[in-house]
Amino acid sequence: MPDRGGGPTGPRIRVGRPSRRVRTLLMTLGVLAALAMLFVMFAGFWTDWLWYRSVHYSSVFTTTLGTKIGLFGVFGLLMALAVGFNIWLAHRLRPPLSAMSAEQQSLDRYRMSIAPYKKWVLLAVTALVGLVAGASAAGQWRTWLQWVNGVSFGQKDPQFHKDISFYTFDLPWYRFLLSFGFAAAVLSLIAAALVHYLYGGLRLTSPGHRATAAATGHLSVLLGLFVALKAVAYWLDRYGLAVKSSGLRSTDGWTGLRYVDANAYLPAKTILFIIALICAVLFFATLWRRTWQLPVIGFGLMVLSAILIGGLYPAIVQKFQVSPNEQTKEAPYIAKNIKATREAYGIDHTKVDDKYPGKSDAAGKDKNKLREMANSTASLRLLDPNIVSPAFQQERQDRGYYQFPSTLDVDRYTVNGKEQDTVIGLRELNIKGIPERNWINDHFKYTHGYGAVTAKGTSVPKGGGPDFQSDGTLGAYQPRVYYGEKTTQYSIVGGPQKEIDKPGDEGKESFGYDGKGGVALSNPVNRAAYAVAFGEPKILYSGAIGKGSKILYNRTPKERVEAVAPWLTIDGDAYPAVVDHRIQWIVDAYTTTNGYPYASRTTLGDTTADSLTTGQRAVVAQQNQVNYIRNSVKATVDAYDGTVRLYQWDAEDPVLKTWMKAFPGTVKPKGEISADLKAHLRYPQDLFKVQRELLARYHVTDPAAFYTGSQRWQVPDDPTNKGNAVPPYYLSMRMPDQKDQTFSLTTTFTPKNRPNLGAFMAVDADAKSDGYGRIRILEPKGAVWGPEQAQSNFNSNSDVASLIRLLKGGDSEVEYGNLLTVPLDGGFLYVEPVYVRGARANYPLLRKVLVNYGEKIAFRDTLGEALDEVFGKQQGETGKQPPDTTRPPSANPTVKQAIKDAQDAYANGQKALEQKDLEAYGKAQKSLKEALDRLAKAEEEAERKADGKPAGKQDEGRRDEGKQDEAKRTEG
């Protein structure tokens, strides 16, 4: 045989072998690529499973995943079968011979091209619609679980007399089924019509009948199903009126039936329901009559009825019956809305005292007694947690890789047998402050913060900085903070690498994590999965990972609670507490719904925003709008090992009971809350802000007054931070009907579009108190300064303004602290700490305290001095002479001259700066210092005279000591 591989002397070429190698290589690469894609998908699933197992909430993962898969499979299959069956049926009902028309001849080439692949086309179309429908259904896992596990509310709506659970748990699921049915009917109708057209069952331009009898019957049944579903929609729309949001003149956020709904829309929906059923029967009748005449007439009647009965008739009722006498017509429905809204937001037991005088008749009262009442009514917190964070940072940071939150928290701790308000912050890890940034340092060496720092809230030392408490105040506890609000990066701990530990001991002492938190990386599959999930290949092969290594992630308290309880809405502010010798983050969590009948809706993100919230602190609600909220769960996150515990707080909440049925064993009973933990639980700020927003309108229970809006309130702007709502403040205080001080959360209202005080609101925030959650409102009868007016009066007072200008001298900045409002003897006491941040200082120091009661204003160095001045305390048990309240401090000639000299020096300095005359500026600063020294000396002399004490060396030594302390702080 001839040699086909080449000549006798040429090389032998084997045809086909290189192509097989190429094909094998391509197949191998394809398989590897597919395996890589599958592993990427597997990595996300596997790491999620490992994390949930590490926090012992694997049931949440399996229940959620199983529900999603089940819904995806069932509804995806149903949609695929519905569409696929109708495509198959339309093909089966095709005419045996297509008409010899130009239209059908042009379709022949499409029929011929599809013919070899008909099965594959059918599978592709059904698979596509099935995937889309399944994915949409999987997103309804919360709706399904609530429907299956729904618990009765034990209350019925006033219109249809159905249990509230029908609207919150049942109606959303029925609406989903209805929307799924509409989608299946429409897709099936479109697919069937296309197949009938392709195979000649429908004709658009051919002469004769436009549709075969088989196509007519098939499509009419599908149209009949669509119209039948529309009838069901009309019936459900009747109940939907109870949870429908609409506008009502003079009110906003209205939800529920109005007069026109009950007397026009409701009967219209019932009539349209009957018409739609009749129309559906007419479509089904075409199976026997084989004509479109009656169905088309019926469908036209339904459309015309929808326009006339469903649109025109309600408009006529609204215009000619309701609008001329809207207040009277809507009164019964407003009453239902008020009652439902107050119940849904837990404000139905709010106590409003509208006989509070607002102003005290202090002229004829014992000044000493009023002064003592000021002490006993409230523990006035001077340390503002929103301002003093830089002081914590400067004096207790210890290392650059630690940090404190910008807004600290207020809690209560028992010191020397007495409970006191305390400002607390954790020394958390600051990844940006690491001296040398690299992968090992970022994720292996610098892994945790260290310790809690506390300061007294009601007292400030003479230097003006926080009164830090000793480490022993909190007792012995585990100080390491591996989980915190600022800890967002992952860390790998417990392996060969040792961690930097303890402030100030860098390089001297290391630490190896031994907590139970984290996911083990000893398994190579785990390492590979996390290398893919985090996009960091070093995790797979790094020698820094070995036996005992664990990876910590999802480290903020909020994201940990959200992960283990995705059915909860989380409060915007987690706060730390030392509980049972460990640092625990306490997280308030809410159950919500937007299907409570007649209750007005509110947007959580807007309602909970104030002058202190940022994008990170504002509530991120799973439902944008809600009309029912309960603080049903108190959660804790251990700062050392990340353990998450959920405790049932509201044992009566039907929504929580429903979720506890869906996820059994995830929420612990309320009885398991320890006494130490309960001592630190408090009423949550975000719930309070939602309730105050609703109470601004719904404190009015009379429908006529509610309609006119004449008694509406509004949350005032923060007088120290314009353009944002004033935040609520935690404060130990006593309301007029209480005997003792209680840890409370307070806020103020002003009348709508007016600056004076409209009301004062407080809630018992102490979880140990029998009255926890009780809301009290004081509505003054007379005109009282509101917060903004009080601040304006502070600023416009001539003596205060003069001293403020002096405090701003030398490029210092004045920062106003929280303006506290306290009811006192029929009036209201305003207290505001004033901080000064020096030109060379990194943090503000408390320098003055503003106090206002009635028409009197005091601006003194300490709270006690300011209260003494405002109340004009008489000589009594203390033996002190009463201060001279007949003339302001500036009436003293020495003080007056010192103030004038200081003002002149400051003005000269500013002028020198504008002219760039540094020599003149230096002289002006020297003159300013001399004037301030004379002013301080004159004030001290006046204080000694008031106390009846001679000047002595001991006093001078104390002054020198205070100046040295201040100098040290400034240098720091």
Burial of 927 (0-12, 13-18, 19+ CB in 10 A): middle
Query: Which ranges of the chain have pLDDT less than 50?
Result: 1-17, 250, 874-891, 946-972
Whose CA is closest to 466, among 479, 453, 452? 453
What does the pLDDT read at residue 965? 42
What distance in Å separates the CA atoms of residue 255 and residue 334, rounded to the nearest whole number? 10
- pLDDT digits over 385-400, tens only? 989 999 999 889 888 8
CA quadruple 189, 192, 197, 203: dihedral sign: negative
Structure tokens at 510: 């290391």
Contact of 479 with 501, CB cutoff 8 Å: no
Contact of 621 with 569, CB cutoff 8 Å: yes
DSSP string, 686-740: HHHHHHHHHHHHHT---HHHHHHTTT-EEPPEETTEEEEEPPPEEEEE--TT-SS
Structure tokens at 363: 């002229």
CA angle (313 as vertex; 309, 314 as ends), nearest 5: 110
Sheet holding 550-552, edge to edge: 491-493, 550-552, 519-520
Neighbours of 957 (CB within 10 A): 10
DSSP string, 555-571: -SHHHHHHHH-TTSEEP
Q: Is 358 helix (H, G, I), strand (E, B) or coil?
A: coil
What does the pLDDT read at residue 910? 64
What distance in Å separates the CA atoms of residue 173 and residue 247, rounded to the nearest whole number? 26
- pLDDT digits over 877-924, tens only? 333 333 443 344 444 666 667 777 776 776 676 676 666 666 776 677
* β-pair partners for 582: 478, 579
What does the pLDDT read at residue 340? 96
* β-pair partners for 682: 766
What distance in Å separates the CA atoms of residue 45 and residue 190, rounded to the nearest whole number? 37
**Distance between alpha carbon 231 and the CA centroid of its chain, in Å?**
39
CA angle (431 as vertex; 428, 433 as ends), nearest 5: 95
What does the pLDDT read at residue 470? 83
> With left for phi above 0 and alpha for psi between -120 and 50, is residue 31 left, alpha or beta?
alpha
pTM of the predicted model as reported, rounded to 2 decimal places: 0.85
